């Protein structure tokens, strides 16, 4: 019987993780600014997002024709990403010629979609009926 309680708690935790990622994905899709608090996410989701953001920002700052103010903002975001939260204003990183805001937003969106899919599969495959 104790096993059933733990399975139920695990399902509850996975559902909370799924909802948090789903909500963040919807917000990122609709908003021009997003704040990600890594403490509110499970460690796997937080790690995936931190890595995705760090790698994408590195690619953006390596672009040759990047405007200095955008590069400066991207560097600021890199430092913020090493803390417990990051606040991304896509307008401040937007270089229309280089599509930098689009690149960052899409990278985050893809990471969120993949994590949401993984959590959904975990929920459905490990359902306790």
Q: pLDDT, tens digit, for every residue of 33-63? A: 999 999 999 999 999 999 999 999 999 999 9
CB 103 within 8 A of CB 56: yes
In the structure, what pLDDT confidence band is assigned to residue 11 with cuts at 50, 70 and 90?
confident
Measured CA angle at 58 (ends 108, 67), to 5 deg? 100
- Domain ranges in the chain are 2-125
The pLDDT, as a whole number, for residue 127 is 67
């Amino acid at each position: 019987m104790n096993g059933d309680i733990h399975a139920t708690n695990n399902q509850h935790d996975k559902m909370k993780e799924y909802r948090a990622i789903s909500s963040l994905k919807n917000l990122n899709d609709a908003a021009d600014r997003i704040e990600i608090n890594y403490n509110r996410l499970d460690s796997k989701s937080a790690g995936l997002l931190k890595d995705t953001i760090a790698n994408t920002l590195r690619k953006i700052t390596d672009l040759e024709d990047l405007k200095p103010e955008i590069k400066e903002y991207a560097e600021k975001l890199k430092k913020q990403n090493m803390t417990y939260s990051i606040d991304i204003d896509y307008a401040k990183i937007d270089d229309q010629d280089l599509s930098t805001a689009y690149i960052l937003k899409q990278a985050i969106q893809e990471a969120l979609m993949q994590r949401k899919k993984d959590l959904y599969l975990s929920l459905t495959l490990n359902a306790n009926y």
